[in-house]
Structure 1
């Protein structure tokens, strides 16, 4: 499938269906359950309290992978305020500071956020990828994208503090995440 064909299909899909094109495969992004939505809301509050100059856009469409051939809809993308004004449905990742995913309950989708989407964000040059992994009960910060992979990974269990380095420059106190069972 070509990217243009995917975009036509995504435009024609009902608003309740989020399609992604990752690693050359058509994927349906699972809808957010209540816990996943609340974790994203917590991240919004946590990031913006420390960095009011930024916005965390939920479910923003991004052009990812090498040559921007993929299309992903992360749970959140952190960028300077008003950065996406004038963008269409799929934003170029230029200027985006961090992509965020919270693991869904679908095992196939979990593999995608851990591997394929992670690599797609790195290949697109997004400086930080934050994964809240509900199965492992960890928060994982991927940094230093190079050649389609993140070279640095920091993982902390729920309940600890984790630093997200520049260009994001925030500290997450993850005690609240303990209330979200696996």
Structure 2
């Protein structure tokens, strides 16, 4: 990761000001060192109200009881998602990989994460609101973005949140390390199996998914 990437703020100051303008009166926000923070503890209910009011250019998550901002995807990020979607559709046509799906995570469903991909059976999201329960999900997917919070969010916090929600597989497509990391067998809030594969090698997705990813194309999107 380059120094310029490490110092990239979560959002432009203009987006922060727009968010402040629509925030509930009792939710006090501040912009510190390029990050959005709340001045007071934030409940999940207050988070959901803030997220409903947020401008469409701002994507908010609630991770470990804290407000987080999810980076907007760049072109390579989008191409990688479509690469994965096509393979899922080819191997498991009875499933659907939904992009940017809000999911209830962590213990007691107290987290709110926007997955880059959410693999579920066709029709599974029928009747769901903004935040889907994790029940019946097969896989959560994150594709790292080049922002300074990626390490904590995608490699540390989200594996715990998805494991606590009993999502069978967490797939991390790591653009900083050019690897695909497969987390599986959630138990007691942790994934028991974590296997890392360099781009260009076959990646076996365990049950309940049960097919092998061809990752050769990912080399085209190395930054």
Query: Is residue 157 of structure 2 the alignment partner of residue 116 of structure 1?
Result: yes
Specify which of 46, 66, 80 is matched with residue 107 of structure 2: 66
Separation in structure 2 between the aligned mates of residue 132 and residue 26 of structure 1, nearest angstrom: 23
Map of 2:123 onto structure 1: 82
Separation in structure 1 between the aligned mates of residue 103 and residue 60 of structure 2, nearest angstrom: 12
Matches within 5 A, 1:1-182: 1-182=42-223
Tell me which structure has the larger Cα radius of gyration: 2
Kept in 2: contact 1:77–1:99 (CA 8 A) = yes
Greater CA drift, 103-112 or 85-94: 103-112
Gaps of 5+ in 1: none
SS in 1 for 2:149: helix
Separation in structure 1 between the aligned mates of residue 187 and residue 100 of structure 2, nearest angstrom: 25
CA deviation map 1:128-166 (0-9, x unaligned): 000000111100000000111100011110000010011
Gaps of 5+ in 2: 1-41
1:107 CA displacement: 2.0
1:170 CA displacement: 1.9
Separation in structure 2 between the aligned mates of residue 165 and residue 102 of structure 1, nearest angstrom: 19
RMSD: 0.7
CA deviation map 1:75-118 (0-9, x unaligned): 00000001001000000000000000001000213320111011
* Structure 1 residues 10 and 22, CA gap change in structure 2 (3 angstroms): same
